[in-house]
């Protein structure tokens, strides 16, 4: 689920794919490398709380 747009058109997303409906990971979805059914994502943090701590640094 996208939560922010980055300057180049990529999205910061909450990634629920591997969490069993628990807290999502935070990733960046790369729009240039992704295709319709094959998203390319890069892990940013293992939780939203961890992501917020990264923003404070």
* Containing structural domain, residue 24: 2-56
Q: Decide if 6 contacts 28 (C-beta within 8 A).
A: yes
Q: How many domains does the chain have?
A: 1
Specify the pLDDT at position 51. Answer: 95
Residue the block writes with tokens 């997303």 = 13
**pLDDT in tens for each of the 57 residues of the chain?**
999 999 899 999 999 988 776 889 999 999 999 999 999 999 999 999 999 999 998
Give pTM, 2 decimals: 0.84
DSSP-assigned states of every residue in 1-57: -EEEE-TTS-EEEEE-TTSTTSSPEEEEE-TTT-BTTB--EEEEESSHHHHHHHHH-
Q: Decide if 21 contacts 35 (C-beta within 8 A).
A: no
């Amino acid at each position: 689920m996208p939560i922010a747009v980055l300057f180049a058109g990529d999205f910061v997303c909450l990634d629920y794919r591997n969490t069993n409906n628990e807290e999502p990971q935070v990733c960046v979805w790369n729009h240039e490398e992704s295709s319709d059914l094959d998203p390319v994502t890069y892990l940013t943090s293992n939780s939203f709380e961890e992501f917020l701590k990264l923003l404070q640094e």
